[in-house]
A = this chain, B = another copy of it.
Amino acid sequence: MNQPKRYLDIVLDIRKMISQENIRPGDRIPSERELAETLKVGRSTIREALRSLELLGLIETRRGEGTFLSDYRNHRLVEVLSTFILQDNQSQKDVWETRLIHEISAIRTICGDANSSRLPVWTGFSKRIDEGDFFSREDFVREIMVLSGNRLSLKIWLLLAQYSGNPYKERIIIEETAMLENILAAIRQQDTEKATEGLKTWIAWLQKETGKDDDDS
């Protein structure tokens, strides 16, 4: 093993600094020159660390203004990684499969909790469907993930959603509204099996529809 890479330490140092100073998404982090002096390394080393974090979408830099902690949602990462990684079918499949793991678990949690399965959000979705307000597929599932109450699972899901390609981000179409209504109804009835089956059916349909077909699971 060589010497450990400096810039990797820097990444961790910055992360520590963020939590110590209680820097929140959107806040500014110290300038490159400032960090260099504080951490006693050259500015170029700082930059290598920052550029890495930027590519991951964890920070955002604006010339003349500074560097900001970003919301973990806007990953330029997606474009880059998708050209490298997601060409591999297995990886692509793993992403969808893993995402589904979290989604099903969330549904199970919600169905097992009388409170959350009776929240007005469910009728809200039905209403929007009826009114032709076609939200995106991701929006729909995100609501489920949020309501499950496991924030870590939610964060992982958010990442996986970023990797899930366009179809997941697009608006629902008329053909699938019945499937969604089915899921919603099952949740309202706290019918775990029906809800999870409904979700699986929908996702399977979606995968088949968008042409990236693979074996069913």
Judged by a CB distance under 8 angstroms, whether A44 is at the interface is: yes
A147 CB to closest chain B CB (Å) equals 15
Nearest B residue to A11, CB-CB: B80
Judged by a CB distance under 8 angstroms, whether A146 is at the interface is: no
Copies in the complex: 2
* Partner among B49, B62, B94, B155 whose Cβ is within 8 Å of the Cβ of A152: B94
Q: Mark A44-77, 1 if CB is under 8 A from B, else 0.
A: 1001110111111010001100000000110111
Q: Are B19 and A87 closer than 8 Å at their CB atoms?
A: yes
| Interchain Cβ contacts under 8 Å between A and B, 5 examples | A51-B52, A55-B55, A85-B152, A98-B152, A105-B105
Seen from chain A, the residues whose Cβ lies within 8 Å of a Cβ on chain B are: 2-3, 7-8, 11-12, 15, 18-19, 44, 47-49, 51-56, 58, 62-63, 72-73, 75-77, 80-81, 83-91, 94-95, 97-98, 101-102, 104-105, 150-153, 155-156, 159
